[in-house]
Amino acid sequence: MAPIRNILIVGGGTAGWLAACFLAKTLGARDAQAIRITLVESKEIGIIGVGEGTFPSIRGTLSAIGIDEATFIRDCSATFKQGIRFDHWVRPSGTPGHDHYFHPFSQPSQRPGGPELLPYWLMGAAGANVPFAAAATLQKHVADQSHGPKRLTDGDYLGPLNYAYHFDAGRFAALLCRHAQTLGVHRIEATVDGVTLGDDGAIASVMTREAGALTADLYIDCTGFRARLVGEALGAPFRSVSDTLFVDRALAMQVPYARVDAPIPSYTIATAHEAGWTWDIGLHERRGIGYVYSSRHTSDERAERILRAYIGPAANDREPRMLKLNVGYRETQWVKNCVAIGLSGGFLEPLESSGIGLIEAATYLVSYLFPHDGNLAPAAKLFNAQMKTRYERIVDFVKLHYCLTQRTDHAFWTDNADPATIPDTLRDQLAMWRARPPHRLDFVTDLEMYPPSSWQYVLYGMEYATRLHANATSLPDLEAARREFQTIAGLARHAVADLPPHRTLVEHFCKRQ
Ligand code: FAD
């Protein structure tokens, strides 16, 4: 067993460059004694170039790798994301009832010593017909008014409301590429067209057309859907989850704003359609829109008509880009001396922006479990167990958005609500949540990408009926909870007045040096 001195990252998309920056920062690639990190990427193949919505964890990652917020926003055409608005997921457009719900990133308000609000919301203490996200946080009110989550004077990556970003994926990879090189990462432009295995089945070298054979102690496969190392060379099996999550195609388009000063929504708009859903993401200079759909429930032609109808005249004279999606993951993502990070490890539909979050999680694991002494097997075992659980939990969370629908207008929706398509783990949880709401203790939070509050917002956004068996002794704070809901409504009005319009906030950052 020899200590790890060289890491070779193959692939330079979001996964490759983010991993390069984080590992360089934590393992110290600039120090002569430290580990040498090289990234090889193919100009011919290019990056997937989608993946524009993130989760709040990205702020910690950007800060940890040393990119300041203004540089990030300016260079990546980034905007702020306070959550996701789900339109027509419960019932089709034009039917009575709420036509949307909001999944905010801020946690439900919890005053020290005050009551936990969710049980009281279930008892109607916030008033009739007030959605949980609107009753328990300020964020929906702020986002509804197109205001941002922070003031112009707040420090980098800080603000009174929790937030993530939308950004241009191509520009993000380019920024990370420049930054990684300042951290000491070596870049090689070459295409890997062969992988040699040693007698022990581990990778001995990768062959490139332009730079010959490259060797390392640890290889990181960031080659995207191709999974050139972990899949093609090492044969790690792929577990499809298409019997649970049906969408397997995407049509993506970039369109301009109608006016240069148009308000920018500070949330992703996910609109349900007959066989899938559209994402609508406002960047600083353009919108990114796509229809993700199930090819078992519609045709590509019909999907394109849905996308064009959603976008309107801005789609005229533009052609969508079609992507075929392999939905699932490899249960073993660290094989011998090779770790998969990014799409090479797996892909779940982008409904809750899990892709980049999983890249961050895998990168933290490699960095913090790093086997400096070269003893790879125990680290690999732990990594594989943790990543597998994360994927399973995300599958359940994404399925939660579909399986509670009341839509019966198309087979896509009735199939999604069919209990046979719901994982047992989710079915068990839903059964418990009939009589009590989700609690922090339902979750092993280190293995979850989404906090308990995200489950609560989606569950009750989808109008799930939890019938509390409450009595006066178990829920004694009804009056205090009523006052708390009123306080939140008042604070929400102040927050809207205090926080700047979203576009103003973005443009302030773009002008800042
Ligand atoms: P890629 O971007 O495909 O990069 C692969 C790299 O490997 C490239 O540099 C390529 O040149 C290189 N490469 C490949 N083969 C070779 C070879 N033989 N030799 C040398 N180099 C090679 N995630 C989110 O978090 N939020 C979202 O909103 C979101 N939306 C998405 C929407 C869609 C339709 C899809 C498909 C994905 C979405 N994702 C989203 C996932 C996200 O796009 C990816 O997780 C992210 O872009 C990382 O991709 P990657 O770096 O793994 O792969």
**Residue 403 tokens, joined:** 């399986």
* pLDDT for residue 470 is more than 80: no
Decide if 143 contacts 81 (C-beta within 8 A).
Answer: no
The residue assigned the tokens 């070298």 is: 205
Task: Look at residue 198 and tell me whether its pLDDT is greater than 70.
Answer: yes
Specify the CATH number of the domain 6-78+166-238+327-376: 3.50.50.60
Ligand 1: which of 8, 40, 50 to mutate, judged by most atoms within 8 Å of the beta carbon?
50
Higher pLDDT, 405 or 95: 405
Q: CA dist 205 to 215, 218, 228, 229, Å? A: 5, 10, 13, 10
Q: Is 192 annotated as a binding residue?
A: yes
pLDDT at 191: 97
472 pLDDT band, cuts 50/70/90, is low
Residue of the CA atom closest to atom 12 of ligand 1: 11
Average pLDDT on 81-89 reads 98
% of the chain with per-residue pLDDT over 70:
98
* pLDDT of res. 275: 98
Q: Which residues contact 48 (CB under 8 A, 6 or more apart)?
A: 13, 169, 224, 225, 323, 343
Q: Which two tokens stand for residue 108?
A: 């439900």
Q: Is 14 annotated as a binding residue?
A: yes
Residues that are catalytic? 81
Mean predicted confidence (pLDDT) in 113-119:
91
pTM of the model: 0.97
pLDDT at residue 169 above 90?
Answer: yes
The ligand 1 site (C-beta within 6 Å) comprises 10-16, 40-42, 45-48, 50-54, 169, 191-192, 222-224, 226, 228, 250, 252, 290, 323, 325, 342-343, 350, 353, 355-356, 359
The pLDDT tens digits of the residues spanning 42-62 come to: 999 999 988 799 999 999 999
Check: CB of residue 70 under 8 Å from CB of residue 513: yes
Centroid of ligand 1 to alpha carbon of 119 (angstroms): 41
Pairing of strands 287-293, 100-104: unpaired
Distance 49 CA to ligand 1 centre (A): 7
Using the mean position of ligand 1's atoms as its centre, give its distance from the Cα of residue 363 in Å: 15
Q: What pLDDT, on the 0 to 100 scale, is given for residue 53?
A: 95
* Site to substitute for ligand 1 among 9, 14, 219, most atoms within 8 A of C-beta: 14
Q: Is 382 annotated as a binding residue?
A: no
332-369 pLDDT per residue, tens: 999 999 999 999 999 999 999 999 999 999 999 999 99
312-321 confidence digits (pLDDT tens): 999 999 999 9
pLDDT of the residue at 62: 98
ipTM: 0.99
Instruction: Name the residue with the closest Cα to ligand 1, atom 4.
Output: 13
Ligand 1, atom 6, lies closest to the CA of 11
The first and second tokens of residue 170, run together, are 């191509």
Domain map of the chain by residue range? 6-78+166-238+327-376
Render the burial of 52-89: b for 16+ CB within 10 Å, e for the rest. bbbbbebbebbeebebebebbbbbbbbbbbbbbbbbbb
pLDDT over 90 at 34, yes or no = no
pLDDT tens-digit readout, 217-252: 999 999 999 999 999 999 999 999 999 999 999 999
Flag whether 404 is marked binding. Answer: no
Distance CA 253, CA 304 (A): 11
Per residue, the 3-state secondary structure of 404-459, as one string, reads CCCCCCCHHHHHHHCHHHCCHHHHHHHHHCCCCCCCHHHCCHHHCCCCHHHHHHHH
